[in-house]
Amino acid sequence: MQKVVLIFVSALLILSCRKMELPHTDRTRGLVEELLVKLDSTDVYAAKKEKEIEMLKKNIPGETVDDGIKLYYDISMAFSNSVADSALVYMEKAIIYAQEYGRDSLKLHAQIAQATLLSEYGYYIEAQETLSSVPIEKLAGELRVRYYHAVALLYRNLYSDYNIPASFKKKYRKQFNIYRDSLMMVADTMSLHYLRSIERKEARIGHISEARRYNDLRMSIIEDKHSAAYATCLYDRFALVYIYEQKLTGEAVDDLLQSAIIEVENSNQDIASLLRVESLLNSINEVEAAKKISDYYFSSLQKLGSKKRVVDGVEQTIKINDRSTQLIQKANGELRFTVVLVSILLVAVFFALWIINRSRLRIISLKNELELSDRISKNYIGVAFQLYSSYIKRLDLFRTKIHSNIRKGHIEQVLELTSPSGETASEERRELFHNFDSAFVDIFPNYIEIVNACLKPEQKIVPKRTEILSNELRILALMKLGIEDSEEIAGMLHCSVKTVQNLRSILKTRLAVSEEDFRRKISEI
């Protein structure tokens, strides 16, 4: 019987290992649903952003020259994550306006911002030309920080670009490291530029706990928890686990989803986190949700008009499609495997029933050796026949359910039906024990009283209200029927041999008579 149980357990373990499940917390499902709802409201968020931009435009040229330059700059940044062309146009206007009125500091500020935008949109040559036109010797304080950040960003985008030849990537990464270190030397150690740079540096060298500490510090100093800066911080937190630690946790998935939700609320058309969400949903076959996110992502890229993001998105989509194809092929293979496995399980069920039947026949044979009354013999045979007939009916019903679910492709239902820990198996065990207990007590009505008479007063066995015999009484009952082997008893009672041995040992310590007298009285029942 143990062999049959092992077959069932092993098969179910194999199936459970093959099932894919996205790591999650209690919040994950709600966050996924919230993100999907937000995607249905993108027109509302876009209209809100357009209204804010229109309000800025109405204030042009501003009360002073400096106000006018700042307005052009603010409009450009408002467009930066939604319409690339408009962002570049208004930043150019800020540069021209500042140059026209001799505002050198504001011009340099706008030029560096322009180079940053060009780099982010994939216009690397133009970004490099713009940065080359910036007189470094005139930069001080925050301007120098922004300059180093812009140059470091340019080289990071270059070495991470799919279209850049591998032979150049090493050189660009080296340049990135130089300018990142330069940025960290001049930046305020509590600024977002510094904290993000040091966070990534620590992550790249494997100091994940330090990187997470800097990320926590970034999150603590960002007051607006619905800002793009906070969304970026959440995405970087996800990246520490997924990219640098090469694993995935429920908390990391929640960080990714929160980042995407904030970006959608801000009508950001450049949402890297959405591509990650799509990939994760595809990996667990949430095809409909993944498609909705994918559709929004690519429509937003078209609105943004970023050359770099479109190329990156296409490359990522190719990878996702390849992975989806592999998942489909794998699922088909698992379906074939499951059909074969279910067939094996059916054979195991028949084998288990054969063993149960053989055990019942053995009990009948042992009972026939006892000098029992005609009433006892007839009752016992009737119960045994009823149990056997019941199991034949249950087997037919069980086989019909499995056959129907396999034909329909309902593998989850098949797994639930064949689970030894499921409701069906548990109910079968309960009914088996109930029928055995009822038959045994009917045959030996004074059994419990005689057993308790052999035990110490404080050690008497009192079955629960929901059961006829306790496990100890059931073990003694089988021994009364001539089944002494602990392994065989464990197989019949669906428990471990160790459990049977422990219960037998405990029972000995509770005796008020000698073990020999106890065995004699039990045999005389």
Q: Examine residue 21 and state whether it is found in any structural domain, yes or no.
A: no
In this predicted structure, what is the pLDDT of residue 474?
Answer: 86
In this structure, what CATH number is given to the domain that contains residue 95?
Answer: 1.25.40.10
Q: State how far the Cα of 350 lies from the Cα of 347, in Å rounded to an integer.
A: 5
Rounded to the nearest angstrom, the gap between the alpha carbon of residue 327 and the centroid of all alpha carbons in its chain is 17
Domain that holds residue 522: 444-525
Give the chain's domain count.
2
Q: Examine residue 511 and state whether it is found in any structural domain, yes or no.
A: yes
Which of 388, 338, 345 lies closest to 363, judged by CA? 388
Last residue of a domain, one of 131, 164, 187: 187
Q: Examine residue 299 and state whether it is found in any structural domain, yes or no.
A: no
In this predicted structure, what is the pLDDT of residue 399?
Answer: 73
φ, ψ dihedrals at 511, nearest 5°: -70, 140
Q: Examine residue 161 and state whether it is found in any structural domain, yes or no.
A: yes
CB atoms within 10 A of CB 516: 8
Q: Examine residue 468 and state whether it is found in any structural domain, yes or no.
A: yes
Asked if 286 and 293 touch (Cβ cutoff 8 Å), the reply is no
pLDDT in tens, 231-258: 999 999 999 999 999 999 999 999 999 9
Last residue of a domain, one of 187, 206, 233: 187
In this predicted structure, what is the pLDDT of residue 388?
Answer: 58
In this predicted structure, what is the pLDDT of residue 353?
Answer: 81
Q: Examine residue 238 and state whether it is found in any structural domain, yes or no.
A: no
DSSP tag of 458: G
In this predicted structure, what is the pLDDT of residue 19?
Answer: 44
Q: What is the pTM of this model?
A: 0.56
Last residue of a domain, one of 172, 187, 202: 187
In this predicted structure, what is the pLDDT of residue 18?
Answer: 43
In this structure, what CATH number is given to the domain that contains residue 475?
Answer: 1.10.10.10
Which of 436, 412, 417 lies closest to 494, judged by CA? 436
Q: Examine residue 350 and state whether it is found in any structural domain, yes or no.
A: no
In this predicted structure, what is the pLDDT of residue 441?
Answer: 81
Q: Examine residue 241 and state whether it is found in any structural domain, yes or no.
A: no
Q: Which residues of the chain have pLDDT under 50?
A: 1-19
